[in-house]
Structure 1
Amino acid sequence: MTNKFFIKNPIQIIFVTIIVSSILILLLLGTIRLEEKIEKKMLDISTYDVISITKNSAKLIENLLKFSHNYPEDIKQDKSLQKKIENSLEILPTKNIKYAYLLYRDYKGVFRFLADASSPNEKAIVNQKFDVDNKKWFDIYEKKEIQVIEHDVLHELSVTYLIPIFYKNEVKLILAIDFSIKKVADINNIIGLMKNAILGIIVITLIFLIILIIQTIKYLAVKKTAYVDNLTKVYNRNYLKELEDFINLNDYILATLDIDYFKKINDTYGHDIGDNILKEIANTISLSIRNSNDIIIRYGGEEFVLLVKISRDEPLAALNVIERVFTNIQEKKFYINKKDYIDVTVSIGINIVPYKSKNFSDAFKLADIALYNAKNKGRNTIEIYDENEDINNKCLSINEIKEAMDDNRIICYYQEIVDSKTLEISHYEALLRIVTKDGLIITPDKILPVIKGTFILRNITKCVLDICFKRLLVDDKIKINVNLNPQDITNDSILNILKSYATKENIANRLGLEVIENEDIMILNDAKENLLMLKNLGYKIFIDDFGSGYSNFIYLTEIKTDCIKIDGSIIKKILVDDVSYLLVKSIVAFAKEANIKIIAEYVCSKEIFEKVEVLGIEYCQGYYFSKPSAFEEE
């Protein structure tokens, strides 16, 4: 359930909030400075006359003392002089001037009264001590100029003026005036409201900012979870989708890595062991790459994507990283319990020039083609995509394949499958071909890698089925085998086509279905049930490329296989490789016990045929008998 209060992407809002807060703080500081300027202006205007009067009073006192040689002592001794000075000070107090007094500093540095213009009940006596609380009382003796002391009084502007009175250029007396005026209430209220409003907004903004920061922490945690694979703790496919538009293809080489026979590991040892293998593979890759430069992504299932940073100084370093990944996995022991371990291998496809592709998706396709080729070559190998192959060796693009379908340039070549004893044609295998606009014939190895996992592969299958169905209608004596990929077996539209063909007389029993023997056929749901259903409709089930990889003998009996085709890479080596010969011999022995027929692929010489015949293999297919070709009317 989604939290409705959770902000999906608060990081940008935090930046905006910080900017707004900064503006508000600057506004508050500006308001405070405005208040200070207003107060200073009010003070300047209000005190202009007071300062002039005070200076005149200081001059008057200086004139009264012009015959004195010791100001403090003379004033203390001369009552008449005291009275004159006090009279001169008594004219100073007004509504705004509260106090006026004359002080001196004794030899101990203590300030004392000489005259005071206060009311009789507040008047200080001569030589009474005066306590000071500001250093400017002492600064006046050094600076020999008027000092201003501002007091912090609520609703008032309060100032003490200290005016020096000199004798022979030394400060002997200080005339002190305490001056205060009421602040202008309206201005003060307005500024006060402004400050309070701005402060309130700042507080609310800061609270909002704190909430945003908390939400951001949650957001980043959720985002990390969304972009990290729960099992292996490396990046997942979501991260790749987010990143792919921003990947600079000039900076990386691209590799796809697939764990060989992973389904077999799961089936043999259980999914818990399979999960541990995945985690250890991911950890081994992480330890092998350069964490600051390279990126590892679990693309799905047992497939990983590697983006390895290219070093301009060491252009081969990126390939060395992938080689290190491959070697470290080969050398690692993957324990299934405390004592026993298994060896796990991987196949890797590399695109060393992803920058030549229009986008990441196209670059990834080329790496995937290289992975496809690595698997076809027996797995446990690294294959680099070769962009320099000519048109006869180069894969078609998806658009070229689509155009071929639209232009009806999808055709079939047929290769004979002969009876080993009679040497008569038993079946034909339909082999996909595409005719280019230039008339070149393109084989499946340049077609299938590009459309793997796309809807186009399903449509190609439909085209081949349609061609073969029409061929069976034309010639009611021949039998044709068609190749189905594992996804076809679970696709409703393909199954419906085959069901409709089975309603036609003498079709299903002449249309053999060849399914590649690999782990994919074991993974897909309903594959076994669908194969049994098709067999019940009259179709013969052939398992193709048997012995090249998975070789699940039990599965053959479960789906009631009619025939298995031993992979050509094994048949080609039975004359020179004892292991290949023993493997074929074992398969033949099992098949005979299970009442399953056998076809030997890639029978390309008389010597191989003779060996196959000795082994008791019922059917042969290969260049020794015929090359794939179109029927004459095609």
Structure 2
Amino acid sequence: MDLSLIKQIRHFGSSITVLYVEDEQNVREQIYKMLQKLFDQVDVALDGQEAFEMYMQKNYDLIVTDLKMPRMDGVELCEKIIARNKEQKIILISAYREVEEILTLINIGISGFLTKPVDMHQMLEKVYMVVKNIYADKMMKYHYEEMKKKLLENVITSDDDLYYRDTLTSLHNQEYFLENIDNESTKWAILININDFKLINDYYSFAHGNHLLFQVAELLKAQALTYSYELFRLSNDEFVLLKKEAPTNCKEMESEANSIYGAIERQKYTILGVDNVTISVTMGVASSHNHLLECLYRALMYAKKHGLRYALYKNIEDDRESVKNIMEVKALLKSSIENSMIVPVYQPIRMRDGRVKYEVLMRIKSVDSDELIAPSYFLEIAKQHRYYNEISKMVIFKALEEMRHCNETFSINFSYIDMKNTEFMEELEQKIKEEGVGSRLIFEIIETEHLDSIGVALEFIERFRAYGVQIAIDDFGSGYSNFAHIFWLHPDFIKLDGSLIQKMLQKHEVHLFVETIIEFAHKLNIEVIAEFVSSQEIYDALKLLDVDAFQGYFIGKPQEVIGDEKRSDACK
């Protein structure tokens, strides 16, 4: 028997009333004994008629009932009770499998169904799910009553007063806060955000999350009183403390912020009857005479980004120009996706035997000119703001479409994000299968330093090698993990990290390192491609080291159209 499940149900047991209905003595004694372990208040009825009469005298939170009984069966009992209370929670137990009756009961809204003989573990799981919802409903009603009481205590007499109140905590809301700071005087405030609050809602429920917020609000009320602040609830998991009188200096605000932070994190909160739940918060502290909320949020974001308890606005850099740049890039990405202006360009990779392959690179084509915008301007912002999947997919499928018109071999970059995109991987596999171009593709695995799971890369490789696709590891030599991955991924190519190529003529140790990598790769039958080949001197040095292929501006710049002199031979 699952003791942890029993313990969790017991957290609710003292506040939930149960009516158990069963006419068979042996079954009744067994189930009743279990229910008594779970709940403080369990009443028993021997048939449906007795159960209904008891229900009319005392509304129960949970009813557990048999289906086949004398005088009144389970179907009729459920119908009568739900007609009076559509929210009533009922678990039905039966040795029979009458599909029609069960469907009828499901349609009228019973909470669960168990078959005899009852599996106690299944029963505990079913009871837990039901009583968890009952407890959540009770919490919602409790908060509603508390809110009404608080509103009455505050002597709210008009709809305007209600408009400025938060419905959960009865605190003043964001609208009222904005009105309070809408003047020319300098205000000081502390913005408090509960870290990972969504996890609490997901794991428990929204009602239990609300119960936690209510407890946090009560704690903050006491802190506001102690340090002379007004307290507001801005949004789901955010509160703000507005200083009533200007502090003497920043140190005073920092000291109070530290004390409030400590009080929040030391407090033990109650969820689902567990009374030792703790939370963590992040805070932003700021002063302003006309942009207080903006300054608070910038301080909060700075603190979160740098893993701080709190940040004081005066200590953070003015990043408005950076924010402006992000907004401009986001607008560019959105427009480029809508107008299909994410385009592939092709940079030649020249093999030692004279053959040429092409790496597919991403660019944004300017709407107003022929300018091609490099990814250094937009790629990181695309990843941070959920544009990456769309632009990566667009450039790859455009390159695959180009392959229909020529016989070139294309090398295409794939990040961990791409490999984790299941829908994209399925579409890509289907496209390669239909076009039969697998043998003319090289997939470059980039950002191997950030691979969260080698299994994802292995699955990706196995999937596409089945179609003749070759594999390369990009930026090889940039970190130890590159060397570890070579044994797992078994690539056909490695591409030497560009920073090594750029320094190899100036630093003997770098030259020696490059030479060692090449020898190491060749012993494993892996071909080596050197990127950033920018001069005749670098090209000659690499050639002496027996590099298999060369890429860089000395070999050829990325072009939107593959050169006509080459294209005339390769195109169909």
**TM-score, normalization: structure 2?**
0.48
Whichever of the two has the greater Rg, that structure is 1
